[in-house]
Amino acid sequence: MKRALAVVLAASLTLWGCGSGDDGDAGAKQSELADLLVAETEGVTFDEQCVRDKTADLSEDDAQFLIDNIDATDTEGFSSELQSWVDSLFECLDDSVTEAPDETEATEPTLADETEATEPTDDSDGASAADLASIGKSGFSTWTNGSGETWASAAALVNNNSDQDLFGTEVTFNFIGADGIPVATESTYIDVVPAGDSFPVQTGTYTDLTSALPITVEINAYAEPDSFFETDWVELELSPTTVNPDEYFTTVSGTVTNPADESFDFYQLTCLIVTADGTVVGGAFTFPDRVAPGQTIAWEASVDDGPIQAGGVDAECRSIATIS
């Protein structure tokens, strides 16, 4: 899981821990997991206390499962709730710090002052950073779980409005209640949105939305024209997908082919779940198995109940692997 975590938190870069933290009311297993995660993460930027707080929310059984699978290379076999928990660690990225400088090289300061942080950054065409990425088609669905709580699944296409690739695009989903007040916020990142293209992104919230119904979802994308996530990449080839409804566990599946001349161990595959008329009702994602040059492998991702209940019958998926 330490490598899968690196993909989730920093687009295939390694991470560093930021000092010690207090586990609060966390149990022994949650504290042990937090210690392991902090020990295994070195090199980029995240808030250790945020990770510890999230770990404290896990049950003893889930914490033990993650401890037992700390060296897993993907999230296959994880429950949808644990996959979403791993995905939620994006929220622990520390936006105030950039990549650690190489000690052998002279570097300029990496922290912007407050004035620079609030002013729009321009690209070569004069577009502000906020204008580089926008939201295309999007949608969400809600459903009631076995405990009577209302959860939601949401997804969108993120448009790259520039003539350059965008790296580490941040996407925020704001779930807003009937009274206009946000009741849940989920953030995630897209490794690469190719120049002039669009790329899918998905998330879900397991905050109980029952008292806030009906809800709306506000989605925003933000990209910097120059990012320390920048790297070479290749788009993997996907076969047509199949949505496999089931009373207990619905999945979407297909095959992925590696057209490059190197293997990829850690890469995400993301889908929009759509109805027959193309309406977005949620999403799905997975980290497929290692794929060798020229190899075609099978993949499968779980789908929440909401998109299926809302009429989801097809999946529009893409996958890009970054080259380190």
Question: How confident is the model over 109-119, as pLDDT tens digits?
Answer: 323 333 333 33
Between 81-85, 229-233, 237-241, the lowest mean confidence (pLDDT) is in 81-85
Residue 116 counted as domain residue: no
- 158 and 82, same domain (yes or no): no
Q: In this structure, is residue 110 part of a structural domain? A: no
- Number of structural domains (the chain) is 3
| pLDDT higher at 240 or 28 | 240
Higher-scoring residue by pLDDT: 246, 120: 246
The answer on 308 and 276 residing in a single domain is: yes
What SS3 state is found at 81? helix
Q: Is 239 found in the same domain as 204?
A: no
Side chain identity, residue 319: S
Last residue of a domain, one of 200, 222, 244: 222
Q: What are phi and psi of 12, to 5 degrees?
A: 75, 5
Q: Where would I find the beta strands (DSSP E) of the chain?
A: 133-144, 150-160, 166-176, 182-193, 198-205, 216-222, 232-235, 237-238, 242-244, 250-257, 268-274, 280-286, 296-303, 314-323
Regarding whether 240 and 203 lie in a shared domain, the answer is no
Task: For residue 295, give every residue at least 6 positions away whose Cβ sits within 8 Å of its Cβ, in sequence order, or none.
Answer: 257, 258
Helix, strand, or coil (residue 118): helix
**284 within 8 A of 271, measured Cβ to Cβ:** yes
Gap between the Cα atoms of 284 and 270, Å rounded: 6
- Cα torsion for 261, 266, 267, 273, to the nearest 10°? 140
Q: So what's the pLDDT on residue 97?
A: 38
Say how far residue 54 (Cα) sits from the centre of its chain. 16
Do 183 and 261 reside in the same domain of the chain?
no
Task: Give 258-280 pLDDT, tens digit per residue.
Answer: 999 999 999 999 999 999 999 99
The answer to whether 269 and 286 have CB atoms below 8 angstroms apart is yes
Domain boundary among 161, 188, 222: 222
* Final residue in a domain of this structure, among 189, 222, 255: 222
The pTM of this model reads: 0.64
Return the pLDDT at 65: 83
In this structure, what DSSP letter does residue 261 have?
A: S
Say if 117 falls within a structural domain.
no
Query: Residue 58 pLDDT more than 60?
Result: yes
Residue 157 included in any domain: yes
CA distance 59 to 66: 11
CA distance 167 to 183: 29
In a shared domain, residues 293 and 314:
yes
What number is the average pLDDT over the span 242-251? Answer: 90
- Residue corresponding to tokens 């609060």: 24
Whether residue 45 has pLDDT greater than 60? no
Residue 255 shares a structural domain with residue 212: no
Q: List % helix, strand, coil for the chain (3-state, nearest 5).
A: 20, 35, 45
Average of per-residue pLDDT across 46-52:
74
Are 164 and 183 contained in the same domain? yes
Q: Quick one: average pLDDT of 124-136?
A: 71
**Count of H helices and E strands in the chain?**
8, 14
Q: Are residues 243 and 217 in the same domain?
A: no
Question: How many whole angstroms separate alpha carbon 59 and alpha carbon 65?
Answer: 10
302 by DSSP, 3-state: which?
Answer: strand
Would residue 55 count as lying in a domain? yes
Same domain, 237 and 218: no
Q: What is the dihedral of CA 96, 217, 141, 77, to 10 degrees?
A: 0
Asked, for residue 46, whether it belongs to a domain, the answer is yes
Model pLDDT, residue 7: 42
β-strand partners of 221: 171
- Comparing 57-66, 223-232, 238-247, the range with the smallest average pLDDT is 57-66
Q: What is the pLDDT of residue 71?
A: 63
**CA 301, CA 296: separation in Å to the nearest integer?**
17
Residue 311 has pLDDT above 60, yes or no: yes
Is residue 227 in a domain? no
Q: Are residues 146 and 203 in the same domain?
A: yes
Has residue 189 got a pLDDT over 80? yes
User: Do the beta carbons of residue 282 and residue 312 sit within 8 Å?
Assistant: yes
In sequence order, the β-bridge partners of residue 303 are 250
Instruction: Please name the residues in contact with 104: beta carbons below 8 A apart, sequence gap of 6 or more.
Output: none
For the domain that residue 309 is a member of, what is the CATH number?
A: 2.60.40
pLDDT of 301 higher than 70: yes
Query: Would 240 be classed as within a structural domain?
Result: yes
Domain span at residue 131? Answer: 125-222
State whether 150 and 215 are in the same domain: yes
